[in-house]
């Protein structure tokens, strides 16, 4: 257990395709994913005591206080058993940088890569305000670019699609402001202090192109990692 495992941080503004990228990566490799927004949202949906403290911040599009985020992430790290740990949407502010390094130390993780996604504003807005999610199975759609076959219904499980509260336009605009104010300084910190492992990717390209570029670079950054495409069994297609 003495050997350090790699931690990878992915950052990017709202609509940079972070979550889609992370899901594709975890489908290819045995990766422990820490999707901060999702972990927080899960607490809110289950209406736990922690979730009731988190909710007002999410509704307002404001950053959730660091100590709440730390509690949620620490609990998830206890169960992490992948080849590396991937942090999505954390750290989001300078205050959270200290928490990240504390968590890394406690869980014997070494920072191997910091990926910063950049995206044009118009592209980002379309991606976010068009996004619909299935609360039952977690599938993600976009009414502009990846609509479900039947409007409002999940292709995979038939669940009723919904728009996340923080994907509405007025909240999105607030999230952009918060990203510039709080997260850009965090990006600057990694550029300055961890320049050797920090790199930027244009996220204006298709999700597949972005996935290929990031996979190749991650394989260089994380020892013994194999993210070559391994098509999953298509049991959803009729066989003849």
Does 157 participate in binding Zn ion (rule CB under 5 A)?
Answer: yes
Cα distance between residue 104 and residue 99, in whole Å: 9
The least CB distance from residue 231 to Zn ion, in Å, is 21
Does 23 participate in binding Zn ion (rule CB under 5 A)?
Answer: no
Does 154 participate in binding Zn ion (rule CB under 5 A)?
Answer: yes
Rg (CA), the chain: 18
Q: How far is CA 140 from CA 13, 154, 236, in A?
A: 18, 9, 17
Indicate which single residue of 130, 159, 200, 205 sits in contact with Zn ion (rule: CB under 5 A): 159
Is 79 part of the annotated catalytic residue set? no
Indicate which single residue of 136, 188, 193, 209 sits in contact with Zn ion (rule: CB under 5 A): 136
Extract the runs of DSSP E, i.e. beta strands, from the chain: 5-11, 31-35, 84-88, 109-118, 131-133, 140-142, 198-202
Does 133 participate in binding Zn ion (rule CB under 5 A)?
Answer: no
Selected range binding Zn ion among 15-23, 41-49, 69-77, 136-144, rule: CB under 5 A? 136-144
- Total number of residues binding Zn ion (CB under 5 A)? 8
Helix, strand, coil percentages (3-state) for the chain, rounded to 5, are 45, 20, 35
The least CB distance from residue 30 to Zn ion, in Å, is 24
Q: Find out whether 58 and 44 touch, Cβ atoms under 8 Å.
A: yes
In residues, how long is the chain? Answer: 240
The least CB distance from residue 97 to Zn ion, in Å, is 35
DSSP character string of 4-44: PEEEEEEE--TTS-HHHHHHHHHHHS-EEEEEHHHHHHHHH
Indicate which single residue of 64, 103, 116, 134 sits in contact with Zn ion (rule: CB under 5 A): 134
Closer residue to Zn ion in complex, CB, 56/158: 158
As annotated, the active-site residues are 18, 92, 131, 164, 175
Residues at the contact surface with Zn ion, assessed by CB under 5 A: 134, 136-137, 139, 154, 156-157, 159
């Amino acid at each position: 257990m003495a050997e350090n495992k790699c931690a990878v941080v992915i950052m990017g503004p709202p609509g940079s395709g972070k979550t889609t990228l992370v899901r594709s990566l975890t489908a290819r490799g045995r990766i422990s994913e820490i999707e901060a927004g999702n972990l927080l949202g899960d607490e809110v949906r289950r209406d736990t005591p922690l979730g009731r403290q988190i909710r007002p911040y999410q509704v307002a599009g404001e950053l959730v206080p660091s100590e709440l985020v730390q509690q949620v992430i620490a609990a998830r790290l206890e169960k992490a058993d992948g080849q590396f740990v991937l942090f999505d949407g954390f750290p989001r502010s300078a205050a959270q940088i200290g928490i990240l390094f504390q968590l890394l130390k406690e869980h014997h993780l070494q920072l191997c890569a910091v990926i910063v996604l950049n995206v044009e504003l118009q592209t980002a807005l379309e991606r976010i305000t068009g996004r619909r999610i299935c609360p039952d199975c977690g599938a993600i759609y976009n009414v502009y670019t990846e609509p479900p076959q039947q409007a409002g219904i999940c292709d995979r499980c038939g669940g009723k699609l919904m728009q996340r509260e923080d994907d509405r336009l007025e909240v999105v605009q607030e999230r952009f402001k918060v990203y510039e104010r709080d997260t850009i300084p965090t990006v600057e910190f990694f550029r300055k202090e961890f320049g050797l492992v920090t790199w930027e990717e244009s996220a204006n390209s298709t999700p597949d192109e972005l996935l290929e570029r990031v996979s190749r670079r991650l394989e260089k950054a994380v020892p013994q990692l194999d993210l070559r495409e391994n098509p999953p069994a298509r049991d959803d297609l009729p066989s003849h």
